[in-house]
Amino acid sequence: MTEPEIFDGLTAILRQVFDDPGIVATPDLSARDVAEWDSFNHINIVVAAEMRFGVSFKSSELEELRNVGDFAALIQAKTLP
């Protein structure tokens, strides 16, 4: 899966979770940038990403993430053949 495909997928997830058609997944975007990004919505994003990209995440992997760019890199690593 390519990086643009991952960011497109993450954009769709973020728009659905936050009900905001204007939000765009960018490498620097983080929970600090979105007022509604609380722990509940964080879980919704992770579950939606697991379903959309066909991957699963360990808690230790998620604890290392600082922003959407880190999340996209993790997804890309997990979807490599």
Per-residue pLDDT of 3-48, as tens digits, reads 999 999 999 999 999 999 999 999 999 999 999 999 999 999 999 9
Beta-carbon contacts of 34 under 8 Å, excluding residues fewer than 6 positions away, are 14, 18, 23
The residue-averaged pLDDT of 49-76 equals 97
Helix ranges restricted to H, the chain: 3-18, 39-53, 59-63, 68-79
**Residues 23 and 70: beta-carbon distance below 8 Å:** no
- Name the pTM for this structure: 0.94
